Amino acid sequence: MIRNIQSAADLAPAYDLVVVGAGPAGLSAAVEASAHGLTVLLADENEAPGGQIYRSVERASDADLARMGPDYAAGRMLIERFRRADVSYANRATVWNVGPADEETGAGAHAIEVGISLGGIARPIAAHRVILATGALERPFPFPGWTMPGVMTAGAAQILMKSSGLVPSGRTILAGTGPLLYLLASQLLRAGVSVTAVVDTTPVENWRSALPHLLRFATSPYALKGLKLLLEVQRRTRVIRGVTALEAFGSGQFGALRVHRSNKSLHIEGDLLLLHQGIAPNLNLSLAAGCDYVWDERLAAFRPNVDGRGASSVSGVSIAGDAAGIVGAVASAHQGEFAGLSAALDLNRIGQGVYEQRRAQHAQKLARALRGRTFIDHRFRPGKTFRVPEDDGTIICRCEEITAGKLREVAALGVPGPNQMKAFTRCGMGPCQGRLCGLTAVELLAQCRGVPPGEVGYYRLRPPIKPVTLSELAALPHTEAATIAVAGFVERAHDAAQDATYGSHQ
Amino acid sequence: MFRRLSDRNETSVSFTFNGVPTMARRGDSVAAALLAAGHCGTRQTPVSGAARGPYCMMGVCFECLVKIDGWPNRQACLTTVLEGMRVETQDGAAVPGQKE
Amino acid sequence: MDYDVIVVGGGLVGVSIAWGLSKCGQRVAIVDEGDLANRAARANFGLVWSSSKGLGSAAYSRWSRTSTANWHQLAAELKAETGIDTGFVQSGGFSIRLTPTELERGIASMAKLAGQPGMDAEGTPPLEYEILDQAETRRRLPLVGETVAGAIFSPLDGHANPLRLFAGFHKALKQRGVHYFPHRKTTAIRHHAGAFEVTGEGWRLGAGKVVLAAGIGNTALAPMLGLSVPLLPSRGQIIVTERLKPFLSHATGYLRQTDEGSVLIGESKEATIDHQRPRGPITAVLAERALRTFPLLRNAKAVRIWAAFRVVTPDGYPIYEQSERFPGAFACACHSGVTLAANHALVLPRQISAGALSEDLSVFHSRRFHVPAAV
């Protein structure tokens, strides 16, 4: 049975396995690993398990389930299994650090240290293994006006619907590309929302790269669902295709969208604008942990470099689900399960024979779940001008309000990469730590330099990957050596203070 | 901005936004509650004072920062509304030591 | 010869010198590593500070003091050239002492510093400082914690925005036509046919003079030119908070509020360079001391913690030297690249252009470290 962690005091100092994230990958990993006798802590920031896709599914009514569709309801079973598993579950817990155990305070038994904060108290936890299942986030979608109130993501609208039963009350415009856009349009229309238009920014030329994968897609479960959705939405609202540029207007909040198509433009009034142009791995914890990463050209995003069982370049740290590369809910669950199994193998709870059998099964299940994704990835790959805005006045870094023009000006100085660019402009220095500007900044710099984004690299990320108060940090374990490193000596009751100085530098 | 689907029947929760009594439903995040009450702008940025509001609703964008019971810069989308909660616009940078 | 001078290293030391050289009419190129190079230039505190420096070297104290004084000119010139305001404020600095023992030690060390021969020189601002007891410290900094024992205040000290300084130099260099080559790690330098040849993978540049300003990278390059830059491993860690409304305009020795509102909290001195990951116990000590210093920061949030390597010689003072075997080859290595940026920009370049470092910099020659070799 699940063990609910109510406060930091309930946390054990160490676990065999810490899983970060309670979406399909994390839940599956926790269930699998605990079934083999590992002590497991699953930590998640939200109030209830489910991640984004299965958000609030535990308390969903029949009406909610009907509204959201069968894929959502499938999450219920997984969460029920999770609730029955022998796992410690810390909700409303922020994991702000994962890394090798500290050279002094890491007792030597556990290879990995996890920094977790719950109820305003930060704790270091030791672990033999960590599985990062931090999922994905919506790609940034920068264009003039995207930062004004009344502009939100498609994912945000789904969260409001699932968790609070809230739907837009006014004229709603959806813009972008990808199946989620049409899924949301359909869900909103069924809920009686006034969907003024679906503004489709899918580049016309995507067909060319998607075509070779059409057959596989056509025989996948996505195809029929997708077609039905498309037809339904087209029947019930205005769909505008071949869009090449967007601008949002409003005084104080969103009021209208200008839509450009080749040399024509349309002006559409609305009360709410919902954006979506795909999702990208939520990288920050993986990168702060030191995991190597690669640029995935098809995804047009960075993802951590992992092997077939999800192992990253950092010993003991695995990554499963969308956090390792966009694969969808079902494949995420399979990857999480396999990562949990691999942890059990590593910690000698199962034998190699059993593992090999399961590995073969896993490969089959995964292949089935991934069928059709290649087509989707190509078909709905966001266009260049929506990934790197041409308009210099467009804000790229929302937190620090840095425009594309400012970044271009600095790029012209010959900055070697996004970290130097960050130093010169503050782009990426805000609380979101680059989650909403990183991809744009890198692609902009790559464009300016005429090199692939993979060559440009990404921000160097460090813990805390979410803000932590100084009082929480101050209460973490101190050591004498650390005190000497900062204060120069250790204050003692008697007068035998140790001195450790060099040079005269204060 | 947002309306409640008629088949949702969570109990009501009352809180205040900038001193004004406001209704929410049990289980709402502060961000959801504010949006339901018609507020899509909930902070002014510390850089230029520009109006911003909830964007991603999942804790990654840090746009929904508000003051909650005096604590500055709380992510409204990751905080559940509680009865009597005092929510205020986050006007620019946090004042150090304000919540004591 | 492609250039008059090649500066190896595009950090603060390199760009300050390159700018100054360009002002002297030299044709300059900078070769720099990539985005993830060890860059002390992006990992510093922003203090422009001299008051407590130079215990053991009056020359270093004087060098720091003149650089601080010269900072006004540097700031003005960069502003005029680039429009970038480096945010230099010389409103005095407080070296806050949390306990009576810390205060006693500070008093003793300042007295020893002030008492050194050679501390005064014509044209150098004299060392000035005041000892503040607990009451006086609280009067001047009302927000300090009740347990703060005292402080040492000096009107000489101040702070600037080091990232804008760095950006300002780069912009000025670009405007002046100085060539900046990133992604060019220097692997060899040799003197050949009257010129210096600086090479790396797939590239080569020639110049009449070369200046090594490559931070930690200097150690490997120096011997190629008959120079020597021994360095000790040193790592420092700093916490950066979210932006806060202004509450502290003065610089203090280990905590300052930037003009954007974020608070920088430092700093550790760890004798290692095995990695650049922030360490929990160091973070804890830094945070705890910051809260004793300014308790109102209890609930301020850290948004970033980083650790980086310092450029520290065995005695902590800079190395400035010209090669005897290869005149025209210079080495410059130091920490405190922000404080010393003014002298690096306004004083050193004239000397480098003229082909000789001034006599009063000879104390910073690396021969001071050389133990006579056994035969």
Q: Count CB atoms within 10 A of the CB of residue C204.
A: 10
Q: What percent of chain A shows pLDDT beyond 90?
A: 86
Task: Give the minimum alpha-carbon distance from B18 to chain A in angstroms, rounded to a whole number.
Answer: 18
CB C269 to CB A485 under 8 A? yes
Q: Which residues of chain A from 383 to 412 reach within 8 Å of chain B, CB to CB?
A: 398-401
- Determine the residue among C38, C62, C274, C301 to mutate to test chain A binding: the one whose Cβ has the most chain A Cβ atoms within 10 Å: C301
Q: Which residues of C touch A488 (CB under 8 A)?
A: 269
How many contacts does B have with C, using Cβ atoms within 8 A? 37
Phi, psi of A484 (to 5 degrees): -65, -40
Is residue A499 scored above 60 in pLDDT?
no
pLDDT digits (tens, 9 = 90+) for C47-97: 999 999 999 999 999 999 999 999 999 999 999 999 999 999 999 999 999
Block residue for tokens 């005190």 = A483
Q: What percent of chain C shows pLDDT beyond 90?
A: 94
- Cα–Cα separations (whole angstroms), residue C45 to A427, C166, C233, C251, C256: 19, 13, 19, 10, 8
- Domains in chain B, ordered, with CATH? 12-91 (3.10.20.440)
Q: Which residues of chain A from 100 to 129 reach within 8 Å of chain B, CB to CB?
A: none
d(CA C86, CA C11): 16
pLDDT at A465 (0 to 100):
97
As beta bridge partners, residue B44 has B51, B91
| Helix count and strand count (H, E) for chain B | 1, 8
pLDDT at A467 (0 to 100):
96
d(CA A332, CA B58): 19
pLDDT at A500 (0 to 100):
41
CB B51 to CB A253 under 8 A? yes
Q: Which helix (H) or strand (E) segment is A249 a member of?
A: strand A245-249
Judged by phi (left if over 0) then psi (alpha if -120 to 50, else beta), residue A239 lies in beta
Q: Helices A404-411 and A438-449: crossing angle, nearest 10°? A: 40
As beta bridge partners, residue B43 has B52, B90
Q: Which residues of B touch A96 (CB under 8 A)?
A: none
Q: What percent of chain A shows pLDDT beyond 70?
A: 97
Q: Where in chain A is the domain with CATH 1.10.10.1100?
A: 388-456
Task: Give the minimum alpha-carbon distance from A308 to chain C in angstroms, rounded to a whole number.
Answer: 27
Cα C225 from chain centroid?
A: 24
Q: What is the DSSP letter of B29?
A: B
pLDDT digits (tens, 9 = 90+) for A11-56: 999 999 999 999 999 999 999 999 999 999 999 999 999 999 999 9
Please list the helix, strand and coil fractions of chain B in percent, rounded to the nearest 5, in that order. 10, 35, 55
Q: Which helix (H) or strand (E) segment is A84 a member of?
A: helix A70-84
User: In chain B, which residue's Cα lies nearest the Cα of C248?
Assistant: B96
Spatial contact of A32 and A85, defined as CB atoms under 8 Å apart: no
pLDDT digits (tens, 9 = 90+) for C257-306: 999 999 999 999 999 999 999 999 999 999 999 999 999 999 999 999 99
User: In chain B, which residue's Cα lies nearest the Cα of C259?
Assistant: B47
Instruction: Answer yes or no: pTM beyond 0.80.
Output: yes
**Average model confidence (pLDDT) for chain A?**
94
Residues of chain B with pLDDT under 50: 100
Four-way CATH pick for A140-277: 3.30.300.30, 3.90.550.60, 3.50.50.60, 3.30.565.10? 3.50.50.60
pLDDT at A18 (0 to 100):
98
- Chain B CB within 8 Å of residue C325 CB: no
- Chain B CB within 8 Å of residue C192 CB: no
Is residue A498 scored above 90 in pLDDT?
no
CB C244 to CB B93 under 8 A? yes
Task: Give the minimum alpha-carbon distance from B8 to chain A in angstroms, rounded to a whole number.
Answer: 6
- Chain A CB within 8 Å of residue C60 CB: yes
- Chain B CB within 8 Å of residue A164 CB: yes
Is residue A501 scored above 80 in pLDDT?
no
pLDDT digits (tens, 9 = 90+) for A239-286: 999 999 999 999 999 999 999 998 899 999 999 999 999 999 999 999
pLDDT at C373 (0 to 100):
58
- Chain A CB within 8 Å of residue C104 CB: no
pLDDT at A13 (0 to 100):
95
Q: Does domain A388-456 have CATH number 1.10.1240.10?
A: no
pLDDT at A494 (0 to 100):
56
CB B58 to CB A137 under 8 A? yes
* Residue A502: band (very low, low, confident or very high) from pLDDT cuts 50, 70, 90: very low
Region C128-152: mean pLDDT is 97
- Domains in chain C, ordered, with CATH? 3-45+163-230+314-369 (3.50.50.60), 235-309 (3.30.9.10)
* Residue A503: band (very low, low, confident or very high) from pLDDT cuts 50, 70, 90: very low
Region A136-143: mean pLDDT is 98
pLDDT at A225 (0 to 100):
82
* Residue A69: band (very low, low, confident or very high) from pLDDT cuts 50, 70, 90: confident
pLDDT digits (tens, 9 = 90+) for A191-235: 999 999 999 999 999 988 888 888 888 887 777 888 888 899 999
Of B94, B99, B100, the CB nearest to C244: B94
Which amino acid is residue C102, in one-letter code?
E
Q: Where in chain A is the domain with CATH 3.50.50.60?
A: 3-137+280-350, 140-277
pLDDT at C372 (0 to 100):
67
pLDDT at A318 (0 to 100):
98
Region A276-303: mean pLDDT is 97
ipTM score of complex: 0.98
* Range of lowest pLDDT (A127-131, A498-502, C226-230): A498-502
Q: Does domain A3-137+280-350 have CATH number 3.50.50.60?
A: yes
* Residue A476: band (very low, low, confident or very high) from pLDDT cuts 50, 70, 90: very high
Is residue A496 scored above 70 in pLDDT?
no
* Residue A433: band (very low, low, confident or very high) from pLDDT cuts 50, 70, 90: very high
User: In chain A, which residue's Cα lies nearest the Cα of B36?
Assistant: A166
Residue C171 is encoded by which pair of tokens? Answer: 């912009």
Q: Which residues of A touch B2 (CB under 8 A)?
A: 160, 166-169
Q: Kind of pairing, strands A256-261 and A245-249?
A: antiparallel
Is residue A328 scored above 50 in pLDDT?
yes
pLDDT digits (tens, 9 = 90+) for C159-215: 999 999 999 999 999 999 999 999 999 999 999 988 999 999 999 999 999 999 999
Q: Which residues of C touch A450 (CB under 8 A)?
A: none
Of B92, B96, B100, the CB nearest to C300: B96
- Chain C CB within 8 Å of residue B7 CB: no
- Determine the residue among C143, C244, C265 to mutate to test chain B binding: the one whose Cβ has the most chain B Cβ atoms within 10 Å: C244
Selected residue with higher pLDDT from A306 and A504: A306
- Chain B CB within 8 Å of residue A271 CB: yes
pLDDT at C319 (0 to 100):
98
Task: Give the minimum alpha-carbon distance from B10 to chain C in angstroms, rounded to a whole number.
Answer: 33
